[in-house]
Structure 1
Amino acid sequence: MRRDALPLLACLLVLAGCENAMQDMYDQPHLEEGEATTLFPDGRVLQAPPPGAVARAAGVRADSSGGRLGVADAGADAGPPGRSGRAPPWGHGEPEQPLPAMPGLPLTRAVLERGRDRYRINCEPCHGALGDGDGTLPRRGFPPPPSFHEARLRAAPDAHLYAVITHGYGVMYPYGDRVVPADRTAIVQWIRTLQLSQHFPAAALAPGERHRLDEASP
């Protein structure tokens, strides 16, 4: 070893021993839960979240992507998770799990537009614009999701789709801590709209629409 490297080696050894000796960043002054403080008007250390705050990893069934579990009540919408904390694989012949209650929303244009908006943000990158499972990510090598137009998913109850959004399934992580319950319901309604757009029976069309369809058909 070169002699001019010995001082550098000595400095490195000294620095390596400083981790347990210099604890200023670990043992710094701080307030404990339940202590009094003059920082806030009510004199309490623990403060309620400000209005409009979005809960993250709240409750034992929050299923956050980081694996953290919160201490707040997840609410009735979370429902019991499926196997391994995931929603049940509807239509695969496996035992069905109890499905969570899905908040009801009126089927209105505003709700569908909200569902379309939330779908584009949270779902379209994988599931595609029409729900075929050919989104941008699968086209770049990510495992493709099933098509919403498969018979089993068209026959699945709305609560199943809601449960998958909430708890995730397979490689899809849960959105229970990212999408509020009403928006999850709106997304389900938009998925049903996509399914209907590709499988609407021609015989149920109004005469004028049926004529337009016949003219457009090759």
Structure 2
Amino acid sequence: MRWLLFLAVLLLSGCEKARQDMYDQPRYKPFAPSNLFADGASARPLPPGTVAHARGAFSGSTGGQLGQQAAERDQAAQAAQANPYPVTAQLLRRGQERFSIYCVPCHSPAGDGDGRVVRRGFPAPPSFHQDRLRNAPDRHFFDVITHGYGIMYPYADRVEPADRWAIVAYIRALQLSQHASVAELDAAQRARLTGGEGRP
């Protein structure tokens, strides 16, 4: 009987050791030497074609030549006073996608400031369709996305400058969708809108 009890205690102590090994697994510190690989380094080289996720002075990486070019584009976009990109269907699609991710929860899909979080008690942002914002320069929207405004926090670390301008272009499209003038349409477009030339 004592022999069985001794064996049970011995087995249980072995389980505790195995459990502890799961918590304290062997690992390498970054750039530590290793004889596991032929080059003697524990860190593996990046696969060909890898694009740096972070770039710039604060990230500690420039991302090579591509990263440098992207940083220069970002600086140019940051300095622009109006949207520096041509408004194309591709730009508007990108703006809609980014707007849906970052802006819709508060501003709503229509941009009227009645998003889901507002319906749950969060303070409502202003509607993009009010005269003050319809007449605001493009740079105003870019700066608000970058630096935040009121209770809206900054998105500079989440949304790249080019995407901020894409969002601005999409906001302008939303504004136009609610305030387009029939007088700006040509005859064929007016006819399609009214369902025929004979109808008002």
Q: Distance in 1 between matches of 2:107 and 2:138?
A: 17
Deviations 1:18-41 (A, max 9, x none): xxxxxxxxxxxx98xxx99679x7
Matched, 1:172 2:172: no
The alpha carbon displacement at 1:200 in A equals 1.0
- Alignment partner, residue 127 of structure 2: 147
Deviations 1:125-177 (A, max 9, x none): 11111111111111111111111111111111111101111111111111100
Distance 2:151 2:126 in 1: 12
How many residues align structurally? 160
What is the TM-score of this pair, normalised by structure 1? Answer: 0.56
Deviation at 1:78, TM superposition (A): 7.4
The change in CA–CA distance for 1:125 and 1:78 in structure 2 (over 3 A counts) is farther
* Separation of aligned partners in 2, 1:126 and 1:118: 14
1:1-218 equivalences in 2 (<5 Å): 51-55=50-54, 101-102=79-80, 104-214=84-194
The one-letter code of the counterpart of 1:157 is P
In 1: Cα distance, 2:127 partner to 2:159 partner:
21
Is the CA contact 1:78–1:166 (under 8 Å) kept in the aligned structure 2? no
Alpha-carbon distance change, 139 to 150 in structure 1, aligned in 2, over 3 angstroms:
same
Alpha carbons of 1:53 and 1:145: their partners in 2 closer, same or farther (altered >3 Å)?
farther
Q: Please give the TM-score of this superposition, normalised by the length of structure 2.
A: 0.61
* Cα distance, 1:51 vs structure 2: 4.8
Task: Kindly name which structure, 1 or 2, has the bigger radius of gyration based on alpha carbons.
Answer: 2
User: Where does structure 2 lack aligned partners over 5 or more consecutive residues?
Assistant: 1-27, 44-48, 63-70
Question: What whole-Å deviation, never above 9, does each CA across 1:99-142 have from its counterpart, x for those lacking one?
Answer: x5236212111111111111111111111111111111111111
In the TM superposition, residue 184 of structure 1 has moved relative to its aligned partner by: 0.8
- 1:124 touches 1:135 (CA, 8 Å); kept in 2? yes
Question: Which structure is higher in helix share?
Answer: 2
Between the two structures, name the one with larger relative contact order (CA 8 Å, sep ≥ 6): 1
Report the residue type matching 2:168 in the other structure. V
Unaligned runs of 5+ in 1: 1-29, 61-69, 80-99
Question: Using the alignment, how far apart are the partners of 1:42 and 1:154 within structure 2?
Answer: 61
Structure 1 residue 210 displacement after superposition? 1.9
